[in-house]
Structure 1
């Protein structure tokens, strides 16, 4: 009887995990591993064996063998075969596979929108923890500066900081945990958060006057370094007036009154961080040009006319500007640094509406109020002809009489003084005469010339008192004087002096 034909069937062992269906020879701690025995023969029972590190019969009769939450002890060589009793006339063999259960490793990745790699205060950053193996059922932990307690713990592998702060800077690591199983820690990743110190400067400083040029400069410094990969915004009264990623300067060529307000600049990093400077108040003072005319009121032909143009900035005048004057929209004086226009002898042709203009450094002109100047012909006013002639006839005789009076009075005074000096030539006793400065009488004593034989004659006293009124104005001659005689006693045979 012929011996039956031996049929050899080769088995292939495939390891499956929940993360991948591809053939693999390694798994990670905590993974669920499935060994599948692929056979060309359907039906029958299977036997599973672990050949190393020691031979073990595994409790499985199906075509698959599953390891729940693999550990390093599950590493080894596995083999599957069919049950001999199911196919008694077929001999069989099988293949083996070596399974290695590895420790899980982790890797921390930082994601930021800042292309320079810097992280600024207020930026949004993300850190993703990549862990080897099956991710199902694992919790991810983010640790800061090797802290034992997780800084953050969640089921998602990505950790997000919507607005990172300076205090959140440090070294970060991550790992995964499932029950009592832990992955290894990732390598530390440094997170350096730079402060956004923003400063706004204005040139020139407030207050300013209309038509001045203004320049605002926004600067940033952080941890001793600066960056150009930022976005700058300028705000006036919390309203954005300029936003630029290429310039940190905001300029206004000719500032106006409407530009008055509180200015702030903001610096925004690519990561979303944003910081603001302190406010700067910009005050723009309105310009007022005033034209004044002297003399005011009625202006006569031949008068001297002065027009003065003044530029006022909130009560203070400004100089070093160009002034021009206009009459009836026609220039009468242009481009002068002197704010006065004068006419020495004005005439009727100078009548009209006058305006002055001030040219500012930026080239703009500011005009004054309009002053109307009307020139009037001179008018002769006087007394009517008949009355004037009568008055003149009355005044002339009075003037002649007054002149005659003074001449006659002067002659009389001269004669009187000559006569008095002659009369007083032999006066005896006390004579009061005018002092040298004419301010008060002076006392002068003269003696009589008496004969030698008058020794027994009683004393003779002859007193002449001259009254000199004190003058009202020093230096002018006295108007009048008078003589006052006292009692006269003379010896017998003598007569008083004349």
Structure 2
């Protein structure tokens, strides 16, 4: 029966009222009161509780920051939001396939409605989904629409070249140049290391050049160079430097 815009629910037993199956028509504010005695005397009404029943399972919205191109070493954040706003959701993250939550590593973490990749690697490329669950028996939302994360190599090639060549005459000048093909604009700061037989001979953020004014036997060996930026490090192939001895004319 209706009184003052409310509906009185009769026929309930005990202190529990169960809705099964729940429908959108059950949305509204609920209060309870208790009675005892004969004739019955009623308690005050409880504070109201609002029940909102959505149509079907809600579908989360998934967004990505940054929205533009992503390079190795960048930070990527995915955000998952269940439209309609009721709290209490526990979010799950999926990569490349639905059904098995994504494995989190030292460089990725899921906290609430956000999933952060703190140091993007090429292996992080792929399609991502999110889903959400809540309630004692875990009622799940739909999956979100997928979002694509494509991680581009920060620098795709590192080379070490020798001038005038890999074979030099004793006492001749030798220049070794380390170069990286950088894909990101603006170009990030690069750190160069040139190594001979496993030992660094130069470390620099200013120059990729290692110059020897006058070569001698100690300068021979196997050289490589490494370039590092944003936590990404790549090395060149080995370059063998050989020395030709001076030919002394007989007196």
Tell me which interval the TM-score lies in, with the shorter structure as reference length.
0.5 to 0.7
| CA 98–226 in structure 1, closer or farther in 2 if over 3 Å, else same | closer
Q: 1:141 aligns with which of 82, 85, 93?
A: 93
The normalised TM-score by structure 1 is 0.36
2:60 to 81, 98, 105: 105
Match of 2:30 in 1: 78
Deviation for aligned residue 1:93 = 5.1
Larger radius of gyration: 1
> In 2, Cα distance between the equivalents of 1:153 and 1:74?
36
8 Å contact kept, 1:125–1:162: yes
Aligned residue runs from structure 1 range 381-392, under 5 A: none
Number of the residue aligned with 2:151:
192
* Residues 73-472 of structure 1 mapped to structure 2, 5 A cutoff: 75-83=27-35, 85=37, 92=44, 95-100=47-52, 103=58, 105=60, 107=62, 118-120=70-72, 130=80, 133-135=87-89, 140-144=92-96, 149=98, 152-153=101-102, 157=110, 158=115, 164-165=121-122, 169-176=125-132, 181-185=140-144, 188-194=147-153, 196-221=156-181, 227-270=187-230, 272-287=231-246, 289=248, 292=251
| Cα displacement string for residues 136-173 of structure 1 (whole angstroms, at most 9, x for unaligned residues) | 5x6x23244xx5x458545973576988337x534433
The alignment's TM-score, normalised by the length of structure 2, stands at 0.62
Contact 2:34 2:42 in 1 (8 A): no
Counterpart contact for 1:118–1:193, Cα < 8 Å? yes
Taking structure 1 as reference, are residues 78 and 177 closer, same or farther at Cα in structure 2, changes over 3 Å only? closer
Partner SS state of residue 172, structure 2: coil
State the Cα distance separating 1:207 from its structure 2 match: 1.6
CA RMSD, 1 decimal? 4.6
Distance 1:80 1:223 in 2: 66
Q: Distance in 2 between matches of 1:165 and 1:172?
A: 15
Name whichever structure is richer in helix by fraction: 1
Relative to structure 1, the CA distance from residue 84 to residue 224 in structure 2 (aligned partners, 3 Å threshold; closer, same or farther) is closer
| Deviation for aligned residue 1:230 | 3.0
Alignment length, in residue pairs? 224
Gaps of 5+ in 1: 1-50, 293-498
Indicate which of 15, 35, 53 corresponds to 1:61. Answer: 15
Where does the alignment leave 5 or more consecutive residues of structure 2 unmatched?
none
Give secondary structure in 2 for the equivalent of 1:98.
strand
